[in-house]
Amino acid sequence: MEELVALAKRRGFIYPSSEIYGGLAAVYDYGHYGTLLKNNIQEAWWKNMVLTRRDVVGLDSAIFMHPMTWKASGHVDSFSDPQIDCRDCKYRMRADHLLEKFGYDVDRWPLDKINEILATLRTEGKLVCEHCGRKNLTDARDFNLLIKTNFGSPIGNLKDLAEEDIVYPRGETCQGIYLEYKNIIDSMRVKLPFGIAQVGKAFRNEIIAKQFIFRTREFEQMEMQYFLHPDDMDNKFEYWKNERMNWYITVLGISADKLRFKKHEKLAHYAKAAFDIEYNYACLGKFAEVEGIHQRGDWDLSRHAQFSGVKLDYFDQARNLRFTPHIMETSVGLNRLVLMVLDQALHTEKLENGKTRTVLSIKPSLAPVKVAIFPLQKDEKLLHVAEKLYDDVKMSLVTEFDDAGNIGKMYRRQDEIGTPYCVTVDYQTLEDNTVTIRERDTMKQERISLDSVNEVITKRIINS
């Protein structure tokens, strides 16, 4: 993890947010290359999930929604994690994470049951603060993960606001989809089964957030909610499980042996079945969730219909039946995909001369920069040819120009940001109109025609 975090900052992928003021816990900014990588992953998901399908439409819902949304969804009353505080150093911990170290899986357990186990461990002298090592810990209590704010100009402190004055930056993106379900039915001529997909920011007041960008308080979700008749659920559920797993392997280039399905044994009260796609993060030393695939039943639409007073049912002409659609969900964290791609790609190689090089072997189609153009030296004739080539290629491929003069250092820098191809303009170029193209992973070099650079690289990226 330390190596990955250092590279991400050094090479302009990811920075700690507000670093000049000491930083802000679990909040990060994406630099130039991080933004390009994140956008490439997002575009690959959008193309696969929306643009190449006839049964899914897109949406970009607002971050703020009517506060009753979160009452209907259950977030106001039950969207919480169990929190423990150290009375001495004031360090906060999640009770479920602390108890995992003792072999307990207390996910979705009631607080009284969690506190019974804590009391036993406290009596045995085993319950200690993860930060200071002392034994003066509180009981667990519910900590709601929704972030509160307000519209307008409140009188007094936020904590004094009446419930009707509070609004919430969304804790998950899917609620915006449910609220626009009726409008999409009315305007988009969709018929069941169909999906609504979107990409957007969500916000959670995590008790404690670590592990770099794996768990942050501000994050991006890519979700698709698929509406269908309950009789179709099992078949579509298996279909989407396979579709999503194949996407990681074929589109993102993730090794199949680093991915697995994990079945949820404990389900939310509205869920019928749930699986996670997990990736084996080297930087975390374990398999961890990147995407959830869930059968949500008709709970979401039924709740919003109940609280809003608006009918959210559907008339199926083929079945001659009116019913509330059931929902199958796929939800993936974009930040976690960025971390996954970096995690698999980052490695260090020993060279024949005894030196080492650090490489990000990102799949070429996802790489932030596709090709770098170098003049071998700062010679006006070489610079002129290299700059013209750069101007030609940049219109169709994300391209960098570097004339630092030390070819070895220029190669090393591009290796570390994952650029799959480097093209060098040298003195032979002036003689026969050819350039050297160098491939990132193999370091193999060959001469190709100057006029064919764009075509050759584009074809190799498509075929990679």
**Domains in the chain: ranges and CATH:** 2-62+171-343 (3.30.930.10), 80-144 (3.30.1600), 369-463 (3.40.50.800)
Q: Give the span between the Cα atoms of 170 and 65, in whole angstroms.
A: 7
Q: Tell me which of 128 and 37 has the higher pLDDT.
A: 37
Query: Would you state the structure tokens that stand for residue 456, as one six-digit string?
Result: 């050759």
Distances (CA, A) of 86 to 48, 83, 93, 110: 47, 10, 8, 21
Cis omega before residue 169 (within 30°)?
A: no
Q: Is the pLDDT assigned to residue 242 strictly greater than 90?
A: yes
The whole-angstrom separation of Cα 144 and Cα 215 is: 16
Closest-CA residue to 330 (of 298, 297, 294): 294
Chain centre distance of CA 55: 24
Short-list 334, 403, 416, CA closest to 369: 416
pLDDT at 350 over 70: yes
- DSSP codes, 151-202: SS--SS-GGGS-GGGEE-B-S-SHHHHHHTHHHHHHHS---SSEEEEEEEEE
The helix (H) or strand (E) run that includes residue 430 is helix 427-432
Q: What is the pLDDT of residue 147?
A: 81
Q: Exposed, middle or buried: residue 367 (CB in 10 Å: 0-12, 13-18, 19+)?
A: buried
Which token pair is 28?
Answer: 């990060």
Residue written as tokens 């659920």? 233
What are the pLDDT digits (tens) for 168-223? 899 899 999 999 999 999 999 899 999 999 999 999 887 776 789 998 989 999 99
Q: pTM for the complete prediction?
A: 0.90
Closest CA to 400 of 382, 380, 386: 386
Phi-psi region of 320 (alpha: psi -120 to 50; beta: other; left: phi over 0): left
Name, in order, each residue with C-beta under 8 angstroms of 435's C-beta and a sequence gap of 6 or more.
Answer: 389, 423, 424, 425, 426, 429, 447, 448, 449, 450, 453
pLDDT at 250 over 60: yes
Under 8 Å between Cβ of 379 and 373: no
Residue 402: is its pLDDT beyond 90?
A: yes
Confidence band, pLDDT 50/70/90 cuts, at residue 236: very high
Mean pLDDT, residues 326-351:
96
Which pairing describes strands 356-360 and 371-375: parallel, antiparallel, or unpaired? Answer: unpaired
CB 86 within 8 A of CB 129: yes
Winning range, highest mean pLDDT, from 130-139, 142-151, 247-256, 397-406: 247-256
Model pLDDT for residues 55-110, shown as the tens digit of each residue? 999 999 999 998 889 888 888 877 778 889 999 998 888 888 888 888 888 777 88
Between CA 218 and CA 225, with CA 219 as vertex, the angle to 5 degrees is 130
DSSP 8-state code for residue 233: H
Strand, helix or coil for residue 64: strand
Question: Long-range contact list for 29-35, CB < 8 A, 24+ apart?
Answer: 32/368, 33/368, 33/369, 33/417, 33/418, 34/8, 34/338, 34/368
193 in Cβ contact with 226 (< 8 Å) = yes
